[in-house]
Chains A and B, each alone.
Chain A
Amino acid sequence: MRQSASIRLSLAFVLVAFVCLLFADLQISTSNPWQELGRLALGVVTPDFAAVDYLGKAVIRTLAFAFVGVALGAGGGFMLALCFRHRVIRAGCAIIRAVHELFWALLFLQCFGLHPLTGVLAIAIPYAGIFAKVYAEILDETDPEPAHALPASSGRLSTLLYTRLPLAWSHLVSYTAYRLECGLRSSAVLGFIGMPTLGYYLESSFAQGHYSSVGALLLIFYVLIATLKLWVRPRLLPLYLMAAPFLLGSGLPIAWSNVSRFLTQDVIPAPIRSGEGIAGLGPWLGDLLTDQALPGILNTLLLTQIALVLTGALALLLFPLVSSHFTRRLSGTAGHMVLVILRSTPEYLLAFILLQLWGPSMLPAVVALAIHNGGIIGHLIGQRSNTLRLRPDAPHGVERYAYEVVPRLYGPFLALLFYRWEIIMRETAILGILGVATLGFYIDSAIQEIRIDRALVLILITALLNIGIDSLARHLRARLRLRYRANSRQGC
C-alpha cells in the first residue's frame, strides 16, 4: 500500500510537470548554441591562469566573505538556537532563511552600496536563520540525562556548557564545516551582483568573451571546494577568522544619507509616502499583486515543478555512477568526479553560463537547477545504495537497477527530493535576476527602479511561498512516512 502511495504521488508530480511544460517558455534563442558551448569547453581545457592577474585577489575576497559571513551567521544562529523555543524567534528565523542571500544582497546594496558590509550581511543573516534551526535541532537531540543528573541550581549557562554543548559538539562542527562550503558558493555568487568575489570576474570574463579566463576561474573554484577539507583545519581556523575581516577589501564607503533615506523613505509604501494614507494602500497592493506577484508566483511554481521532476529523473540516472553495485573501482572514481563537479557548481552560476549559451528562456534555469540538485541527490542516494547488501545471485545491470536497488531506495529518494523542493523553489525565485520571469525578476526590476517598497512586498511573498512549500513537503513526508535521517541536513 505504502509503495503504491509513493508511486501515485510521483506520477502526480510528473503529470503536473508535463502540464507546466505546456505553459513554459523553453526555446533556445541563440543562433548557434553548440558553438558557444564548444568555445566554453575549449576555454575550460585551455585555462589561462596568467590572463587573470586579479585571480589571487578574487580567491582571497571569495574566501574572506565566506569566512566572515558564515562565522557571523554561526555565532548569531547559535544565540538564536538557545532561545529557539520562543515562537517569535522560530517564525523570525523561518522568514530570514526563506529569503535568499542574493535578495538580501540586493537590499543591502541599496542601503550600504558596494561596501563589504553588504556581502557579509547578505550571507550572515540567512545563514543565521538556518544555523539557528539546525543547531537547535542538534542540541535537542542530545541525551538529556547528564543535564538531569547535575545538581539543582547549576545555572543554565553552566549546564549548557558542561552537558549539551560538549555532547553536540562534533555534530555542530561538522554541520558548520558543511555550511562553510555553502558559504563559499554563496560568496562566489555574490560577485554577480557586484561584490569583488569570483562571480564578479566570471561575469566580466564572459562579457568580454575570454573563455580561457572563464575556464581558469571555474577550475580555481572547483579546486577550492574540492580541497576544503585539506586546508580548513581546526588549528588554522582561528587564523583564518582573524585574517578574514581584513581581507574583505574596502569597497566603496557607506553613504549614510543613503542608509537613512533607505530606512525612512524607500521602505515606506508609496501611497503612504506620497500622503495618500492607508486608503491608497489597497489599490497599490492590488496592482502589485495582479501585475507582478501573481505572474511571478505562477512562473516560479511552473519552473519549480518542472525542475523538481527533472532533478528527480537526473538523480535516478546519476546515482549508479557512485554506487558500488554498478561501478568498478576506476569508473567509480570517475563517477565521483562527475557528481562532485555537478553538485559543487551553484545553480546561479550554471544558469548564468547556460543563459549566455542558449539565450533567455526558462530552459537554462530548469537545466541548471536539475543538474545541481540532481548531482546532490544522486550523490546521497549513491552513498545510501552502498549500504545495501544484495544476495550473492542478484541480477546485474539494468535488472539489478530496476528490481534490486531502486525499489529499496525509492523511499529515501523521495524524502530527499522533498527536502530539496523548498531549496529548488528558493533558487528558482533567485534565477529571476538573470531574466527569467520568476519572482526574482520582479524583485530585481523593482529594486532597479528604486521601488524598494514593492521589492519588500515581493520578497515577503517569496519567503511565504518558500515556507508554504516547506510545510507541504513536511506534510507529504510525514504522510508517506518517508524518512532520511543521515545527511538530510545537507542542502545549500
Chain B
Amino acid sequence: MTSLTLHEVVADYGEGRVLGPLSLTLSPGERVALVGKSGAGKSTLLHLMYSHWRHRNAALIPQQLGLVDTLSTFHNVYMGGLPRHSIHHNLITLARPFRRDIDAIFPLLERLEIADKCWNRAGELSGGQRQRIAAARALYQAGSVLLADEPVSSLDGPQAAAAMTALTETYDTAVLAMHDVELALRFCDRVIGIDQGTIALDQPSRRLATSDVLPLYAS
C-alpha cells in the first residue's frame, strides 16, 4: 500500500472554519493517536480522512458507532464484510446466516467477550457492549486502514486494552482519536495533537511522555 495523504484540507461549519488548512502523510504500518481537548477538531479530521480514504478500504468506527439497533450483533458485525459477498449471499444472511460466516465472526466476538450477545439486537445492549460490536465490525472488515473515534471510551481498563490489542493486531495502519493519553502512547507509534483546528504536535510516541501531551488539554 502506498502512503495515505491529506493535502491542505479544510473543514468549515457554517461561516466559521473548524479545521485546517492542514496536510499530513500516513505511511503504511504507522499507527497515529489523535489527541487534543474536545472540540479541537479530532472528529472532524477523522471524517475528512474517511471521506478521502474510504475507497482505499478504510474502516470507520465513528463516535456514534453507526450500529443498526434493530439488527443483531452478528449482523452488525457482518456488515463489515458486505462487499466481500454477493448480493444473494447478503440477502440470505439477513434471514438465515451461513455457518461459514458465523464461524468467522464468532471468534471475534469471543475475543471481545460479547459472544453471548451474538443474537441480541444491538439496541438492547449497553454502551460498552455496543462499542465492542463496532470494534468487531472493523475487525471483520479487515480493511487497509482503521479510522476510529474514541473506540474504547466506554470500556474499563482490561477490556479497553484487550480491544485495543485486537484492533492494532488487525490494523497496523490506523488513526485513533483517543482521550486516554496513556493508552494512546502504548498502542500508537506517532502522536498528532490537534489544537484549534491545526496540528500543534506531531511526534513519535517513544519520544513523548504523558506530561508532554497534557498542555494540549489546558485551556
- Measured CB to CB, the residues of A under 8 A from B are 143, 145-155, 157-159, 161-163, 166-167, 169-170
B87→A158 contact, CB < 8 A: yes
Check B57 against A149 for contact (C-beta < 8 Å). Answer: no
CA distance A60 to B58 in the complex (A): 56
Instruction: Assess the A167–B79 pair: CB atoms within 8 A.
Output: no
Question: Cβ of A166 and Cβ of B83 under 8 Å apart?
Answer: no
Q: Which chain A positions have C-beta within 8 A of B55?
A: 152-153
Whole-angstrom CA separation of A151 from B61 in the bound complex: 11
Contact partners of B67 in chain A: CB under 8 A: 146
Closest B residue to A168 by beta carbon equals B70
Do B83 and A152 have beta carbons less than 8 Å apart?
A: yes
Known contacts: A149-B60, A158-B87, A161-B94. The answer to whether A166 contacts B82 by CB under 8 A is no
CB-defined interface of B43-80 with A at 8 Å, one 1/0 digit per residue?
00000000000110111111011111111000100011
Check A166–B90 contact: CB distance below 8 A.
no
**In the complex, chain B residues whose CB is within 8 Å of the CB of A163:** 68, 79
- Are A152 and B54 in contact, with the CB atoms below 8 A? yes
Q: Would B62 and A162 count as touching, CB distance under 8 A?
A: no
Q: Contact between A162 and B68 (Cβ–Cβ < 8 Å)?
A: yes
Instruction: Jot down 13 A-B pairs with beta carbons below 8 A, ordered by A.
Output: A145-B62, A146-B66, A148-B62, A150-B79, A151-B59, A152-B57, A152-B83, A154-B79, A155-B90, A159-B82, A163-B68, A167-B68, A169-B70
Q: A148-B60, A161-B91 are in contact. Are A154 and B83 (CB under 8 A)?
A: yes
Q: Return chain A residues, CB-CB under 8 Å to B59.
A: 151
| Most chain A CB inside 10 Å of its own CB: which residue of B55, B68, B80 | B68
Chain B residues with CB below 8 A from A147, complex form: 66
Instruction: Tell whether B128 is near chain A: CB-to-CB under 8 Å.
Output: no
CB contact under 8 A between A151 and B57, given known A145-B62, A167-B70, A169-B70: yes
Q: Is the CB of B71 within 8 A of A162?
A: yes
Task: Judge if B204 is at the interface, Cβ distance under 8 Å.
Answer: no
B70 touches A154 (CB 8 A): no
Asked whether any CB of chain A lies closer than 8 Å to the CB of B205, the reply is: no
B141 located at the interface, meaning its Cβ lies under 8 Å from any Cβ of chain A in the complex: yes
17 additional A-B pairs beyond A154-B82, A166-B70, beta carbons within 8 Å, are A145-B62, A145-B65, A146-B66, A146-B68, A147-B66, A148-B62, A149-B65, A149-B134, A151-B57, A151-B59, A152-B83, A155-B90, A159-B82, A162-B68, A166-B71, A169-B70, A170-B70
B12-65 interface with A by 8 A CB criterion: 54-55, 57-62, 64-65
User: In the bound complex, how far is the Cα of B59 from the Cα of A329, in angstroms?
Assistant: 56
Q: Mark out the residues of chain B between 116 and 162 whose CB falls within 8 Å of any chain A CB in the assembled complex.
A: 134, 137, 141, 143
Shortest Cβ distance from B71 into A: residue = A166
B140 to chain A, nearest CB (A): 10
- Check if B66 sits within 8 Å of A148, measured CB to CB: yes
CB-CB nearest in chain A for B59: A151
Q: Report the Cα distance A153→B57, complex, angstroms.
A: 9
Contact A145 B64 (CB under 8 A): yes
Within 8 Å by CB of A162, from B61, B90, B134, lies B90
B87 near A155: Cβ-Cβ < 8 Å: yes
Interface centre among A143, A151, A162, by most B CB within 10 Å?
A151
Report the separation of the CA atoms of residues A159 and B143 in the bound assembly, to the nearest whole angstrom. 17
A157 CA / B75 CA spacing, docked (Å): 16
In the complex, which residue of chain B has the Cβ closest to the Cβ of A157? B87
Select one of A143, A149, A153, A157 contacting B83, CB under 8 A. Answer: A153
Task: Looking at the assembled complex, report how far the CB atom of B71 sits from the nearest CB atom of chain A, in whole angstroms.
Answer: 5
The interface residues of chain A lying within 8 Å CB-to-CB of B64 are 143, 145
Chain A residues positioned under 8 Å from B54 (CB to CB):
152
Specify which of A143, A150, A170 is in contact with B82 (CB 8 Å cutoff).
A150
B58 CB to nearest chain A CB (Å)? 8
Task: Choose from A146, A152, A158 the contact partner of B90 (Cβ within 8 Å).
Answer: A158
**Which residue on chain A has the smallest CB distance to residue B147?**
A149
A299 to B177, CA, bound (A): 66
- Return chain A residues, CB-CB under 8 Å to B62: 145, 148-149
Residues of B within 8 A of A152 (CB): 54-55, 57-58, 83
